[in-house]
Amino acid sequence: MGTSIFTEMTELARSTGAVNLGQGVPELPSPGALLKDVAEAVTSGSNQYPPAVGFPALREAVAAHQLRRYGLDYRPQGEVLITTGATEALASAVLALCDPGDEIIAFDPCYDAYAADARLAGARLVAVPLALDGADFVLDVDALRRAVSPRTRVLILNTPHNPTGKVFTADELAVIADVCTQHSLTVITDEVYEHLVYGDARHLTIASLPGMRERTLTISSAGKTFNVTGWKVGWICGPRPLVAAAGAAKQFLTYASGTPYQEALARALDTVDAWAGDLRGVLTRNRDLLSDGLTRAGLLPFHADAGYFLQADVRPWGYADGVEFCRDLPERAGVVAIPTSAFYVSADAPAWLVRFSFCKREESLRMAVDQLIKAQ
Ligand SMILES: *Cc1c(COP(=O)(O)O)cnc(C)c1O
């Protein structure tokens, strides 16, 4: 894998001093009690290897969280595994479940790790593009059914979805569950934005649908929920045999990590609901500010019900290609964005889509919006 458009755009942001709405790195604060608890854990000596499956207190907090929010009952011993971020959870799950030649279905655009993990396992990622419907991204049921082959082993779902901000609906999840049950597929569901859902949208988790718990590994992480993306503490919940398989792969990836973070996060997760409510308020205002600003700048933003990003159609500025738009934008408007085509595995990417991130300080967003409006 060569130098990516991400590296190129980050470098452009650095060299031009443009407002960087490219990367999804939050500029937002973390809970004060959590930061103090980590400092306390470090100075009091919690600095050696944690258990390979994670600290019992954090596994218990994750299990309690799944029960409280989704009515899903997982045993902290055997059905919950703590990982080095959702990134390692995904890699462990894919390596555990897929053999060379297997196929994995995911929805395009998709998080870049999915294709990389498939390659690590010698498997092939078959990407089903989400269809564009007005300002929304929707499941293309026929395309999903067509994508299943005798070699398909796993479907990777990501809801709330990066980069689109789509929250899969109950009807869409029911169709996906039906396809997976019919073809005996295992679902890996990446739910790292589970708490960052705005307005009337509601996050639903596919493991709670009939017949799905036994075939689903649910992945989440502390990074996006608490604005601590550098800590890399994630987790997997699922039925014992699947979690054991992921754990077997995980032991030779990192074995274990993040002792003081795991300790502190166990407490933070118990009170996540109040914290996440405040964070949703900030991110909702940011999304609205950016969406309104993009519209006033003459671009056409899509809906985002969740997460960190807005996609916009840049054709009104005379660009058919988002890559060219993004290369010109720092010079033209002092803003950096990422072409959404970078997140497509299949060849059917709408070339004119561009991703802007809003997990930033309000002043950064205001500056970006003002500059975009002047530059149109
Ligand atoms: C950020 C992100 C991850 C990685 O999470 P970490 O806990 O930082 O490893 C995985 N999936 C999606 C969709 C993400 O946006």
The string of DSSP codes covering 166-208 is ----HHHHHHHHHHHHHTTPEEEEE-TTTT-B-TT-----GGG
Q: Against a cut of 0.85, is the pTM above it?
A: yes
Question: Is the CB of residue 271 less than 8 Å from the CB of residue 65?
Answer: no
From the CA of 244, how far away is ligand 1's center (Å)? 22
- CB of residue 87 inside a 6 A radius of ligand 1: yes
Residue nearest to atom 15 of ligand 1 (CA): 162
Kindly give the distance from the C-alpha atom of residue 318 to the centroid of ligand 1, in angstroms, as a whole number. 33
- As a whole number of angstroms, the distance between CA 211 and CA 185 comes to 12
pLDDT at 348: 85
Q: Which of 224, 232, 233, 308 to mutate to test the pocket of ligand 1 (most atoms within 8 A of CB)?
A: 224
Both tokens assigned to 125: 């990622």
Ligand 1 centre to CA of 111 (Å) is 8
Q: What is the pLDDT of residue 5?
A: 84
Pocket test for ligand 1, best of 6, 82, 87 (most atoms within 8 A of CB): 87
Distance 223 CA to ligand 1 centre (A): 7
> Is 86 touching ligand 1 by the criterion CB < 6 Å?
yes
Give the atom of ligand 1 at the shortest distance from the alpha carbon of 90: 10
Report the atom number in ligand 1 closest to the C-alpha of 88.
9
Ligand 1 touching residue 215 (CB < 6 A): no
The identity of residue 347, as a single letter, is: A
Judging by beta carbons within 10 Å of its beta carbon (0-12, 13-18, 19+), is residue 71 exposed, middle or buried? exposed
Spell out the per-residue pLDDT of the chain, length 376, in tens.
456 788 889 899 999 999 999 988 999 999 999 999 999 999 999 999 999 999 999 999 999 999 999 999 999 999 999 999 999 999 999 999 999 999 999 999 999 999 999 999 999 999 999 999 999 999 999 999 999 999 999 999 999 999 999 999 999 999 999 999 999 999 999 999 999 999 999 999 999 999 999 999 999 999 999 999 999 999 999 999 999 999 999 999 999 999 999 999 999 999 999 999 999 999 999 999 999 999 999 999 999 999 999 999 999 999 999 999 999 999 999 999 999 999 999 988 999 999 999 999 999 999 999 999 999 9
- DSSP tag of 161: P
pLDDT at residue 3 in the model:
63
| Residue 216 three-state SS | strand
Q: What's the CA-to-centroid distance between 265 and ligand 1, angstroms?
A: 17
